[in-house]
Copies of this chain bind each other. A is one copy, B any other.
Amino acid sequence: MLIIGEKINAARAAVRKTIQQRNESAIIELATAQAAAGADYIDVNGGDERPGAEAANLRWLVDVVQSHTDRPVCIDSADPSAVEAALSLARGRPIVNSVSLEAGRLEALLPLLRRADCMVVALCMSDEGPPKAVEDRLDRARRLVEILVAAGKKPADIIVDPCFFPVCSDPGQAQAVFEAIRRIRREMGETLVGGGVSNSSYGLPGRKWINLAMLTGAIIHGMNAAIVDPCQPGIIPVIRAAEVASGADPSCANYISAHRQGKLG
């Protein structure tokens, strides 16, 4: 299971302010806490409406995160110039988050992906809108993987994001995303599958419970990459327990190791 810590995201107003004020200690705290909790990658999103600001934000974020943790970054941007700026500084094998089939997005990022030694999140979005059912997700996943493999990426470097949508607005969403995960894993061999489950709970009270149920269900259906807040109580224990329930941790070695490290709370 590849765990991507999602907290450094300018979509959250408090973090956006932190980034714009170049409050280094606050970003260090977010990065080191996530690394200590179990994040394998630290997501950095420096979204900013001011022209040119996103690339500068990302450069700063990559530098701060890398100076204080040994985790590679997950570069969370659809802006090719910002991604390029971040990739030029990134150590190890970063993740580019994300490409999709939306017009312009893939074409602009593909040259960068071709050159960089990185992983990539392939989001099942296209100009026809969000995927509606299982087949939509499968079709888009196949097209994205084909394009990325043609650009030189290995299947094991691609994380297909099947798109988690709010479960309250469409009763079939949860089962559709679970089934898509199961089929992508079965059909696409080494390609990883994962995404941010927290969208699932949008519009509902007690969001953490929906997020935990969706995270567990997704892992049981084969999800092996997760964009989560590893510091939130329950997230790491639930991931480790769901890996036991899914058969991904057949000897329970990972689970017992998490216990020994004090990560089951």
Q: List A residues at the B interface (Cβ < 8 Å).
A: 167-168, 171-172, 174-175, 178, 204-206, 209-210, 212-214, 216-217, 220, 234, 237-238, 240-242, 244-247, 250-252, 255-256, 258-259, 264-265
Contacts and interface: CB of A to CB of B under 8 A. Distances in A.
Nearest to A237: B209
B241 A205 contact: no
A105 to B, nearest CB: 30
Given A167-B252, A168-B252, 10 more contacts: A171-B251, A174-B246, A175-B247, A206-B237, A206-B241, A206-B258, A209-B241, A216-B216, A216-B242, A234-B234
Given A212-B238, A264-B209, A172 B247 contact: yes
A45 B217 CA distance: 32
A213 B213 contact: no
Contact of A259 (B205, B214, B255): B205
A168 B259 CA distance: 14
A253 B217 CA distance: 20
B214 A217 contact: no
Contacts of A205: 256, 259, 264
Contact of A264 (B206, B240, B245): B206
26 contacts: A167-B252, A171-B250, A171-B251, A172-B247, A174-B244, A174-B245, A174-B246, A204-B244, A204-B256, A205-B264, A206-B259, A209-B238, A209-B241, A210-B241, A210-B245, A210-B255, A212-B216, A213-B216, A213-B244, A213-B245, A214-B245, A216-B216, A217-B217, A217-B220, A220-B220, A234-B234
Contacts of A167: 244-245, 252
B264 A241 contact: no
Contacts of A216: 212-213, 216-217, 220, 242
Nearest to A258: B206
A207 to B, nearest CB: 10
Contact of A210 (B244, B250, B251): B244
Contacts of A241: 206, 209-210, 212-213
A211 to B, nearest CB: 8
A178 B264 CA distance: 24
Contacts of A244: 167-168, 174, 204, 210, 213
